[in-house]
Amino acid sequence: MVKVSVILTAFNEEKYIGKAIDSILKQTLTDFELIIVNDGSTDNTLNIINSFEDERIKLISHDNIGPGASRNKALNIAKGEYIMYLDGDDWYRVDGLEIAYSEAKDKDTDFTFYQMINYDEKTGKTYENDWFNLNIFDESFENTVFNINDFKGSIFDLSVGVCQKIYNTSFLKRIDAKFPEGILFEDMPFFYYVLLKADKISIIKQQLYYRRKHDGSITHVVDEKFLDTVPAGQELIFHY
């Protein structure tokens, strides 16, 4: 067993996938596996993935089935004590895995939040926002363990992004956590299901993850699939 399984899903990310992979291979924590899921890319993504020679990389390559189904496949084979996620156009801080793992392990959490920072590709600048800075959590939540009963705000103000947390693998498998398949916004029902099942949660007020903003990112192409928020909500209500 390794300490962390990083699950990276990619669809046509030839411009960015190299940086994403490199950010994991250069981590200060070296006891990890990197499970890369090539989700039916039709560009040069797969060739770039194959150019990396590292025994810690495990590759799954299949026809396009979407991020939810791809993440479920990877989770099924993960061997790490903890799970972290990475999108193909983003990257981690060089000590991101080590900091996240140490916090989750020391506090024995079911999952732990950490901060993300946005990167604007057009300007080359980073910027913060309240959502990814976890400003919804005041000082009383720092350096402690809590669950949703201790949180007095609206749970719908919490960041649902799967890449902003480290998860205890045994916990995810015990509660049979799965992503809904065939829709976008798959993070939402997954997050709320995990949140409501978790007994031990913590936060890290450090920006460990860089989230790239560019014209091809999911946040810029959601209009045509916006109604997927409806089945995502139904998945949460009726199945979780």
Instruction: Give me the pLDDT at residue 227, please.
Output: 39
CB 16 within 8 A of CB 3: no
Residue type, 100: A
Instruction: Give me the pLDDT at residue 110, please.
Output: 98
Burial environment of residue 52 by CB neighbours within 10 A (0 to 12, 13 to 18, 19 or more):
middle
Task: Kindly report the CATH number that applies to the domain delimited by 2-239.
Answer: 3.90.550.10
Instruction: Give me the pLDDT at residue 228, please.
Output: 39
Look at residue 232 and tell me whether its pLDDT is greater than 50: no
CA 51 to chain centre: 24
Half-sphere exposure of residue 89: CA atoms within 13 angstroms, side-chain side: 18
Q: Is residue 224 very low, low, confident or very high in pLDDT (cuts 50, 70, 90)?
A: very low
Instruction: Give me the pLDDT at residue 214, please.
Output: 66
Burial environment of residue 125 by CB neighbours within 10 A (0 to 12, 13 to 18, 19 or more):
exposed
| pLDDT per residue as tens digits for the range 139-187 | 999 999 999 999 988 999 999 999 999 999 999 999 999 999 988 778 9
Q: Is residue 11 very low, low, confident or very high in pLDDT (cuts 50, 70, 90)?
A: very high
CB 7 within 8 A of CB 24: no
Look at residue 72 and tell me whether its pLDDT is greater than 60: yes
CA 31 to chain centre: 19
Residue 56, CA distances (Å) to 14, 50, 67, 79, 237 in order: 21, 13, 22, 11, 38
Instruction: Give me the pLDDT at residue 182, please.
Output: 85
Instruction: Give me the pLDDT at residue 234, please.
Output: 40
